[in-house]
Structure 1
Amino acid sequence: MSISRSTSMIALAIALAGAVPAFAADPAPDQGAPDDAIIVTGTRAIGITAAESAAPIKLVSADAMTHVGQPNLNQVLTQLVPSFTAQAFGGDAANLTLSAALRGLNPNQTLVLVNGKRRHGTANLQVLSSAFQGGAAPDLDFITPASIDHVEVLTDGASAQYGSDAIAGVVNIILKKKEGGSISATGGQTYDSDGETASTSINYGIVNDRGYLNLTAFYRFHNYTQRGQQDIRVLDPVTGAVGGTGALAADYQAMPNFPRVNPIVGDARSHFAVGSFNAGFDASDNLSFYGFGTVGYRDAKAYENVRLPNRLVRTAVLGVDPGTVSAATYNATLAANPSYIFSRTGFRPQEAFKETDYSATGGAKGSVGGWNWDLSTTFGLDQAKVYTLNSANRDLFIDTGSTPTDFYDGKFENFEWTSNFDVTHSFGDIALLAAGAEYRLNSYTISQGDPFSYYKTGAQSFPGYSPAASGGHRRHNWAIYGDLALTPVEGLKLDGAVRYEDYSDFGNKTTWKITGRYDFNDMIAIRGTAATGFRAPTLAESYYTQVNVSPNSSFVQLAANSPAAKILGIPDLKPETSTNFSGGFVFRPVPRLTITVDAFQIRLKNRIVGSSQINSLTVGDAVFRAAQASGYTLETFANSGIVAFVNGPTTRTRGVDIVASYDADFGSYGRASFTLSGAYNKTTLRSEGANPAPIGALGQSVFDISQQSYLTDATPKLKLIGGVNWTLGKFSVTARETYYSKTSAIYNDGGGLYTPTRIKAAGITDLEVGYKLTPKLTLAVGANNLFDKDPEAEPYLAAFGETAGGGVVYNQPLTYSPYGINGGYYYGRVTFDF
């Protein structure tokens, strides 16, 4: 979509928002608009509402969350917040822990808070190429919507207030404190009759005059989905001919679900459970204690690429090169020595994940001498054990004639411990002074797998973590900050903050922020921000190493901070830095209608990105020596080499956010809440960064056009959400339309063949109808993606016998689709309040 057309769409959205009250009567006085809710994000002041904020805040209420069909916070926010984009599909382990981001940037550039306290990140690093590559941000799935009172999404740079990561914005999740409870159960599946989902939650709160206790338990099961058609190796999509000849062709046809033998493109199967608590106790008028936390468990399995019958043959015994053998060799082997063939119907490896996640915060707050203080400490730990199931070690089979089929690949864990002390003092209505300190300890550990998992080239589809890849790394940092908010004259609010942080591994950073707002009257106000920020590289980005394999390629993921990376001239990772500017207005032309429009610019330097696939395993060259130094043995593919995380480009993201909301009472025709919001983001590349000399000497670039496209084009530049929630007596209807502009990416097959791909603009419709059987019992049915919209398919390159991304599944959907790859989903829900 052109910039002019995008601008026109935004203008149209603003015009439509302004037109809402033309047909709406005044609402009932007891209906609270979301912008009238008190916020705690982006300000140290008490009692500020979203509509009064000097920074743009999007509120998502608990009630709004209940009308999203899929009980997952990522899905809730992507359907309700236009600047929020959830990952639809991930490769390898990324398919087990999907991520999300704000403003088309990386997940690591959004800070996640729970009750205002920093949430720990996942241990599961997003390794493969995508718009989410490198993501190790907090896993929002471990905070169930049933436990949430509301979510505050600050779309503004806030590093000077909160520290590292708050470049694109802040997601602050506020947990429930209220009395009473509810039990809810949901079930659904895709229109293709897969992806069955069943969940149940219970929330219960106790409140008295001294404190509160709120408890939540949640369980969800989600089944596999499979998208795409035949595996192009077993059935040619152009000629319709079966692959191979003779016995091999017959064995191909005997594979399960022929010709759709390869289930790699689709959702993982998972069992997921989480429990949480939120508690507070007032010891006196000037002292109170609080605590909250979560504990969760995920048991997930995702399919990898199917291995064909001729992949595991004891070729070393036969005296031919190892690898996928020819039909002639396979047929001769079958006739002479059938025991030399591992499986005549191939096998479908799975990557399995057993993850535990813990978080706990304890603190005390009070007041003394006119100063309010808050002392807290937060512990967070994410552990993931990884397994490769229904697989084999090809080299072990060739060398010994036998191999295990299930492997323990190892474990990775991320630990964070954060302690804060904050004080504030109010000087009447004129000024508020805040200051504080923070100490944070972070460690990241990879534990090795069983020896057979990494023997030579390791288990097929996902080799285990070798002793060379395993190890622990840690760092600590401390910070101090100051914040001064002023109201020098009526209607004018000014806020300035400065923060100094010192990291044990790369040094110190100082950031600042200045925010202002002026209310001309009750109807219109202007606001703006200028700020600097930074993001420290995660320990996972710095130290993770592994082998990434596919049916026709193999690449070592070099740890950026390792000696192996230095052979290719790749330096240790350093922090990203940012400069943010924003400006906008708040318009309240009539009661119950609020329109906000905010334009912004984010300039990011030294962005941490995944490198290009650096090909070449010529003995003695730099790539060969780096791969050798990593301790891994690569499979014998033409497309082989290394990848790594690097500091590289400078980017500029410009955009506009709009939010409009209106509550109306139509008397005997019911009540309705209207929302219209939109986000336009355009990221451009200002510089590519330096190309290391050893890589340049090979005639290659560390940051090629494929990787560039994921930064600039793989997320929608424009996303518009229009919705209405209408209630009449016992009936309720929620309708939502989301518009995504086109997205695109340049695919690399792993061997330097580049193919442009594109997903067209689309409108996605969600609809839910509810009915109250009794005042406490509600039934609802609905659909997400009501009209079953699918993204475009990945191009098939017939001349090369592969898809554009080097894959082998014909007609598979482009997996960077912003609205998912599974099409329509329908569901039913029952809720009992007590």
Structure 2
Amino acid sequence: MQAIKKAALVALLSSTVLGATSAYAAEPAAAAAPEEGTAIIVTGTRTTGLKAGDSPAPVQVLSSDLMARAGRSDINTALALSVPSIQIQTFGNDMTAFHPSVKLRGLNPNHTLVMINGKRRHGTANVVVTNAMWTGAAAPDMGLIPMEAVEHVEVLQDGAAAQYGTDAVAGVVNLILKKKDKGGYISGSVGQYYAGDGFNYELAGNIGMAPVENMYLNLTVQHKVKDYSFRGDVDPRVVSGTTQGATLLSRFPGLTSAANYPYVNRIFGDGRMALTNMFYNMGYTGIQDIEIYSFGSYSTRTGSTYQNYRLPNVVYGQSAVVAPAAGSVASGDIPFPLGFSPLEALKETDFAWTGGVKGTFGKSTIDLSATYGKDINKVYVVNSANAALYYDSSTTTRAGYTPRDVFDGSFTASQFTVNLDGTHELEVGLSEPVHLAAGGEWRRDTYALGAGEVASYYVGTGKLGGGIQSFFGYSPANASNNSRTNFSQYFDISLKPVEKWLVDGAVRHENYSDFGDTTVFKLTSRYDFSPAIAVRGTVSTGFRAPTLAEGFYSGINVGPASLSGIFAPNSAGAKALGISGLKPEKSTNLSFGLVLNPLPKLTITVDAYSIYLRDRIVQSSGFLGYSNNCKYLPGGYSPSTDLNAALSAAGCSSNVIVSPSVLTALYNNGVPITSIIDTINGGQSGSLTINSFVNGLSTLTRGVDFLATYNTHAVGGRVDFSLSANYNETSIKAINAPPSNINSRQGIFDKYSQSALTDTTPKWRATFNTYWESGKVSINLRESVYGPAKLLAQTAQTAEDYYQRVGTMFVTDLEGTFAFTRDIKFSVGANNLFGIYPDKIPAFARQQQFNAASTAYVSQYPSFSSVGINGGYYYAKLGVKF
């Protein structure tokens, strides 16, 4: 594999010398970027022709050539590197590894509206349920939008629910597609991490054409592949330095010949992915003052991620020798004497289409459009086994059977939207015409969870824990098919009472078929004291209905020593816990800003904001039904069991907060809790927990955005400077009561979950960027500073609280470009040039993880780090325009 990587890199470099016709999406070296503030924007305003520098709300415009300098060829990374108030998920568990979420101003990804050409983009079907920092995220997947298709991006950093819909609580990201009707390019890039893994390559092309007169058609195709990375440590369960490891090796001495021993647990690193994106954007302007337009996409993604390594004693048949002690399986029907490493695999198909017509009639405009988008995720578990199925299919004289690869289930989400928007300029004798806008939107959302094959969720006789190892499949009981509709109307007015004073107001009414109706508003104002100084501010309210994924996702996850799961908030299991569904969030936004132009070509903006969220939807803490401080439940478990008495008799420690209703809920949902309690590590350790999405909190997020840009000529060429920074802090103002059937001492959102919400986003971040261009050479230097972050955790043996901390980090990105001709370019660069890693988890906590033979020991870096866990990445890009 290493030879293939080197050959690919050599081939790319060699093709430069041979004049190969590859390119990337930057403009020719002689082209100059527009001055900051002069770009015409369409986001945050209904007024035609408004410049970014004149906007009453903070809107940052990112051109395609600026984003191309990000190094990585995806919009998520480009946004995170360019806008400090945007944070990207740098490490994902399970399927979230392929759908990295993006959040604005420290809020949830679901609080940011993503649009393409001003039209709402559908969300992903893959909801985040395994990462507390991004929990519930089911926002649009911008990884499915090729950067090569985008002309520029407009980021509105202000609440805009009254303008665009009630999920624009934090702001809006609007991607404007290219409309070029001639020319094109082909691009190629390769790269990998300094550590020698994570090899990445991309091929992409964009072409513009005019099939008929007065028509443009712009097409983009992108194909990219990335390989696994690994940043983990040894697996303490298989080394002689731990009691469990020594026992295991005495019974399975051949284990030392397992692949990658002792680094057998490969879970801590990137997954493998192959992605193909296709986009089109077209329009016909042959009818006077009318444009008929359409754009759409089709994407496919496949990938796999490592799960925790399974020991040899996890799967065995009835002839195996089993004693009461943990890990005692030693001989007989043991099908995996070297253990095995399950993989979660994904096959995804996503497509979207928009069609519409818009026209200008005197001082009025009309835009009628329809958009449909659908995302289908099929989930598989590969190289795994169902221990219950193997045991039940065996006898004392015959080996058992289990499939290794199974279909676990599917998630499907779709969205159909119809919009009618109109504007009108009205002369009333003010300094400028009054701009009126009004419109309506009808939307239908669907979410379906499909069951997997029987082997994925088989539980059998209960002798061994059921379900395919690593990801318990979705049974027919989990399956559901859900939908809802929404109809909204809005009215917007923008006027200038005097020449220097702009006032913009908006009101929106929404009616959901499942949550009823609400009305939200926004009032924005800007006053220009002079060309050098202006003030602006906003007050608005917002309303976000829970996504269907938050309302209806359910699933079980089986680990080496635990079972955890999530109940849909409106399911029977959730009702057994006292949860009766979700209600919408409500928000209040305030902002105040300054726009300064103290010198020619120098622009400075400073915007402070406050966002208060009530009934914020979060994933609850895990409600514990059984813990490793308890022994066997005498006589097993049945609905007639007096759980409190049974748990007391089982020796549950008084400081372990247990909710018996959790066992009732799991049992009623058909989960094999008795067998799991009796067989996890011989019944001596393990836990059973369940959680759900709940309206758990009220939070207050406050911060400041700063942006300064300056363009000049120096050092023999053009130089663009920018300094952007963000300070952001979220505090919890109220925590709702726990569900009625949960032990009140347990709480709905524990201190560890609270820390994940409030502490893991850096309190401040700054980016200084310098772009220098002269003749055929250009250099882009970016220095990013990430403030400290932390996460409250608990030690593995003594159960002491401690913080996993990530200190302040300075990360340098550098890219150099040489233009052989006006059209042929070659670039080399590095993200994280000096190979910075986050601080490791404290040694004392890792020592306890090692002593306890915990699988958590392999994760040596905090996964919440904004810089990521993979270190430096170098790359090369090549191409030509035509």
Q: Which moved more, 1:611-620 or 1:679-688?
A: 611-620
Q: Deviations over 1:774-800 (max 9, x none)?
A: 111100000000111111223464675
User: The residue matched to 1:693 in structure 2 has which SS?
Assistant: coil
Amino acid at match of 1:199: E
Specify which of 706, 709, 724 is matched with residue 755 of structure 2.
Answer: 709
For the residues of structure 2 that align with 1:527 and 1:104, how far apart are their CA atoms? 22
Deviation at 1:804, TM superposition (A): 11
1:403 aligns with 2:451: no
Amino acid at match of 2:44: G
Deviation at 1:103, TM superposition (A): 0.7
Identity of aligned residues (%): 42
Whether contact under 8 Å (2:238, 2:248) holds in the other structure is no
In the other structure, the counterpart of 1:20 is none
1:452 aligns with 2:455: yes
Whether contact under 8 Å (1:65, 1:76) holds in the other structure is yes
1:640 aligns with 2:688: yes
1:422 aligns with 2:408: no
User: The residue matched to 2:237 in structure 1 has which SS?
Assistant: coil
Specify which of 48, 60, 63 is matched with residue 61 of structure 1.
Answer: 63
Whether contact under 8 Å (2:408, 2:456) holds in the other structure is yes
Amino acid at match of 1:373: I
Whether contact under 8 Å (1:242, 1:249) holds in the other structure is no
In the other structure, the counterpart of 2:540 is 531
In the other structure, the counterpart of 1:213 is 217
In the other structure, the counterpart of 1:694 is 741
Whether contact under 8 Å (1:530, 1:581) holds in the other structure is yes
Q: Deviations over 1:334-376 (max 9, x none)?
A: xxx2xx1021111110000000000110000113364210000
In the other structure, the counterpart of 1:474 is 483
Deviation at 1:211, TM superposition (A): 3.0
Specify which of 828, 853, 868 is matched with residue 820 of structure 1.
Answer: 868
For the residues of structure 1 that align with 2:781 and 2:270, how far apart are their CA atoms? 26
For the residues of structure 2 that align with 1:128 and 1:833, how far apart are their CA atoms? 43
Q: How does 1:581-660 map to 2 (within 5 A)?
A: 581-617=590-626, 619=637, 620=643, 621-634=660-673, 635-636=676-677, 637=680, 638-660=686-708
For the residues of structure 2 that align with 1:245 and 1:33, how far apart are their CA atoms? 66
In the other structure, the counterpart of 2:341 is 348
Deviation at 1:455, TM superposition (A): 0.3
Q: How does 1:498-577 map to 2 (within 5 A)?
A: 498-577=507-586
Deviation at 1:196, TM superposition (A): 0.2
For the residues of structure 2 that align with 1:218 and 1:721, how far apart are their CA atoms? 29
Whether contact under 8 Å (2:321, 2:329) holds in the other structure is no
Q: Which moved more, 1:487-496 or 1:740-749?
A: 740-749
For the residues of structure 1 that align with 2:310 and 2:53, how far apart are their CA atoms? 57
For the residues of structure 2 that align with 1:66 and 1:104, how far apart are their CA atoms? 25
For the residues of structure 2 that align with 1:390 and 1:442, how far apart are their CA atoms? 35
User: The residue matched to 2:498 in structure 1 has which SS?
Assistant: coil
Whether contact under 8 Å (2:727, 2:764) holds in the other structure is yes
Unaligned 5+ runs, structure 1: 1-27
1:289 aligns with 2:276: no
Q: Deviations over 1:59-103 (max 9, x none)?
A: 111011111111111111111111110001111221222111001
Q: Which moved more, 1:573-582 or 1:551-560?
A: 551-560
User: The residue matched to 1:823 in structure 2 has which SS?
Assistant: coil
For the residues of structure 2 that align with 1:611 and 1:419, how far apart are their CA atoms? 35
Unaligned 5+ runs, structure 2: 1-29, 394-399, 460-465, 627-632, 638-642, 644-659, 681-685
In the other structure, the counterpart of 1:766 is 813
Q: Deviations over 1:542-582 (max 9, x none)?
A: 11111123322211211111121111112211111100000
Q: Which moved more, 1:785-794 or 1:241-250?
A: 241-250
Q: Which moved more, 1:823-832 or 1:282-291?
A: 282-291
Q: How does 1:138-157 map to 2 (within 5 A)?
A: 138-157=140-159
Amino acid at match of 1:145: M
Whether contact under 8 Å (1:264, 1:302) holds in the other structure is yes
Whether contact under 8 Å (1:186, 1:830) holds in the other structure is yes
For the residues of structure 1 that align with 2:815 and 2:524, how far apart are their CA atoms? 40
In the other structure, the counterpart of 1:180 is 183
User: The residue matched to 1:565 in structure 2 has which SS?
Assistant: helix
User: The residue matched to 2:497 in structure 1 has which SS?
Assistant: coil
Whether contact under 8 Å (1:99, 1:107) holds in the other structure is yes
Whether contact under 8 Å (1:794, 1:804) holds in the other structure is no
Q: How does 1:121-270 map to 2 (within 5 A)?
A: 121-178=123-180, 179-206=182-209, 210-235=214-239, 242-244=245-247, 247-270=250-273
In the other structure, the counterpart of 2:22 is none
Amino acid at match of 1:73: I
Q: How does 1:669-818 map to 2 (within 5 A)?
A: 669-697=716-744, 699-747=745-793, 754-795=801-842, 797=845, 801=849, 807-810=855-858, 812-818=860-866
Q: Which moved more, 1:635-644 or 1:96-105?
A: 635-644
Whether contact under 8 Å (2:707, 2:725) holds in the other structure is yes
Whether contact under 8 Å (1:747, 1:805) holds in the other structure is no
Amino acid at match of 1:722: F
TM-score by length of 1: 0.92
Amino acid at match of 1:427: L
Amino acid at match of 2:287: S
Whether contact under 8 Å (1:803, 1:809) holds in the other structure is no
Amino acid at match of 2:301: R
Whether contact under 8 Å (2:239, 2:249) holds in the other structure is no
In the other structure, the counterpart of 1:24 is none
Whether contact under 8 Å (1:797, 1:803) holds in the other structure is no
Deviation at 1:748, TM superposition (A): 5.5
Aligned length: 794
Distance change (3 Å), C-alpha of 1:256 and 1:240:
farther
User: The residue matched to 2:747 in structure 1 has which SS?
Assistant: coil
Specify which of 459, 462, 467 is matched with residue 471 of structure 2.
Answer: 462
Q: Deviations over 1:577-596 (max 9, x none)?
A: 10000001100112211100
For the residues of structure 2 that align with 1:791 and 1:289, how far apart are their CA atoms? 51
Q: Deviations over 1:48-67 (max 9, x none)?
A: 11110000011111011111
Deviation at 1:810, TM superposition (A): 3.4
Distance change (3 Å), C-alpha of 1:93 and 1:811:
closer
In the other structure, the counterpart of 2:506 is 497
Amino acid at match of 1:109: H
The alignment's C-alpha RMSD in Å is 2.1
Amino acid at match of 1:390: N
Deviation at 1:430, TM superposition (A): 2.6
In the other structure, the counterpart of 2:646 is none
In the other structure, the counterpart of 1:365 is 358
Specify which of 808, 812, 830 is matched with residue 878 of structure 2.
Answer: 830
Deviation at 1:31, TM superposition (A): 5.2
Whether contact under 8 Å (1:316, 1:399) holds in the other structure is no
Deviation at 1:235, TM superposition (A): 2.1
Q: Which moved more, 1:755-764 or 1:385-394?
A: 755-764
For the residues of structure 2 that align with 1:750 and 1:363, how far apart are their CA atoms? 58
User: The residue matched to 1:651 in structure 2 has which SS?
Assistant: strand
Deviation at 1:471, TM superposition (A): 1.5
User: The residue matched to 1:253 in structure 2 has which SS?
Assistant: helix
Whether contact under 8 Å (2:232, 2:267) holds in the other structure is no
In the other structure, the counterpart of 2:683 is none
Q: How does 1:299-318 map to 2 (within 5 A)?
A: 299-314=302-317, 318=321
In the other structure, the counterpart of 1:8 is none
User: The residue matched to 2:754 in structure 1 has which SS?
Assistant: helix
